[in-house]
A and B are shown apart, each in its own frame.
Chain A
Amino acid sequence: MSVAMKESIFNGLLMGGVYGFMALGLTLIFGIVKVINFAHGSFIMVGMFTGYWFWVLTHIDPYLSLLIIVPLLFLLGYQVQNVLIKPVLKSEAEVREPIGILVLTAGLWLFLDNLALLLFGPNFRTAETPYTGQMFKAGDVLISAPKLYAFLISLATTGILYILLKKTLLGKAIRATGQNRQVASLMGVDIYKIYNISFGLGVALTGVTGALLVPFYPVYPNVGFVFDIRAFMIVVLGGLGSIPGALLGGLIVGLIESVGAQFMATSWTAGLIFVIFLLVLYLRPEGMFGFKEEW
């Protein structure tokens, strides 16, 4: 195997892990609150700008600053759900196709992107962190250090999320609410609080991705859009609401993108991803890890 091929596989896996992690927030919010969050990419952008300004203004290590960024974005998500989405959710509780929430999250997307444009202008910004451009050598293969760190932190955070959801009573209440909100409330679960927490978690995860991208990806107001489409595809590939599905979907998309680029122009790899996406939808509409009965 050629060095270029090995490098592209490594790179694809690393980026794929980050993509999968990026999609977690989307799949979590959909799985629990049953809201399709069109502002997902914008929250990635918010995470990126937060990480960027944190670095520029304080020069705190970008990975250390996660300890501040995570609670900040959790609060943002919590309040977005509590103040903006909850009233619409309540008024549409009996509606079969709650369109109002889709319009709301799409509006939030436009609002956040344009707010960033207003505040920071359209320019691409690159944060010159100590990790930017740093490389590891493994045999004859060069690996980008910030991508490796992003991959590892993504993996670790997913592990923490997994333990939270599987082992704690809060996590069980979150999953129970996702599976049957009415009965969960009969068991004494304050489902609207669970929604707030889930949305907060989803946005915090999204924000982590954004901050992890900062050392190796330029920041600009509509950067979220690039990731948005991938995140939606990954989530559908893996099965809406499924965490392992999102991770596996991410790895697949990352690999296709990176390895495909060895054989064709990058504009074609994007097309290839869509072909595979359509194939999965055709053969297994519920996604790789989805359950039919949830529909």
Chain B
Amino acid sequence: MLEVLNLSVKYGDLQVLFDINLSVRDGEIVSIIGANGAGKTTIIKTISGLVKSVSGEIRFLGKRLDKLPPHLVAEMGVMQVPEGRGIFPLLTVQENLEMGAYVPSARKQMRESMKKVFEMFPRLEERKSQLARTLSGGEQQMLAIGRALMGRPKLLLVDEPSLGLAPILAREVFQTIKSLNSQGTTILLVEQDVRQSLALCHRGYVLENGRIVLEGTGSALLGDERIKRAYLGL
């Protein structure tokens, strides 16, 4: 579904990604793990068009994504739960969700999508007329996920969903991601919580200093000695 081939990205003179190759198949959850500053978020931003690559290709359903501006990437069915949630603070919860269904293909199904999101997150329905800035951190994360689902994504990019959440809430978010996937959404997950995200995913990639150093199934990576030493403190 998504193929990233030999992707390199620079911020000015500073190269942050080197020859990244990765793929996400239909129906999978794929995790990218790595330390802060390894370039995880940059991969997500390059896929969604916010950051331009210097070389390499990104293909989605056979079409090139890497030359498109972000709004056209969204129109192709790639939605994102951005790092730090990125809710619209002075829009109501409902308006935030409506913005998620802004792309023409999702607009017609706005009503049904919203019903589904409210079924999944009843808290959001209770608070639908509140300004989004009045929500708690966990609720804001639900809103960010719900908003992305409103766009009927073929591929969902999830960037650091557990950041700044209490462990219980983080676990809830991972549960949500898992159940979304079992309902058929393909997910590319970027996450610092190595244990949780490897337990969750079908396959994972390990990113170090802008290079992919290891890849494999989630369980294989969890059992890998290097991962245990470097990321799990075992």
Contacts and interface: CB of A to CB of B under 8 A. Distances in A.
B88 A186 contact: no
A291 B79 CA distance: 29
Contacts of A182: 50, 70, 82, 86
Interface in B17-76: 48-50, 69-71, 74-75
Contact of B102 (A173, A179, A180): A173
Interface string B74-113: 1100011010001111110001001110110001000000
Contacts of B75: 188
* A-B residue pairs, 3 tightest by C-beta: A188-B74, A188-B103, A183-B86
A186 B50 contact: yes
Contacts of B82: 182-183, 186
Nearest to A179: B88
Interface in A98-153: none
B91 to A, nearest CB: 6
A293 interface: yes
B203 interface: no
17 contacts: A169-B98, A169-B107, A172-B95, A172-B99, A176-B99, A180-B87, A182-B50, A182-B70, A183-B87, A185-B70, A186-B70, A186-B74, A187-B100, A188-B103, A189-B99, A190-B71, A293-B89
Contacts of B89: 179-180, 293
B161 interface: no
Nearest to B107: A169
Given A187-B99, A187-B147, A188-B103, A176 B91 contact: yes
Contact of A187 (B49, B50, B90, B151): B151
Given A186-B50, A186-B79, 13 more contacts: A172-B99, A175-B95, A176-B95, A180-B86, A180-B87, A182-B50, A185-B74, A186-B74, A187-B102, A187-B147, A188-B103, A190-B69, A191-B71
A41 B71 CA distance: 34
Nearest to A166: B95
A27 B69 CA distance: 28
Interface size class of B (residues with CB under 8 A): 20 to 34
Interface residues of A, number: 19
A72 interface: no
Contacts of B151: 187-188
B88 A188 contact: no
Interface in A162-217: 169, 172-173, 175-176, 179-180, 182-191
Contacts of A188: 71, 74-75, 102-103, 151
A189 B71 contact: yes
A180 B147 CA distance: 14
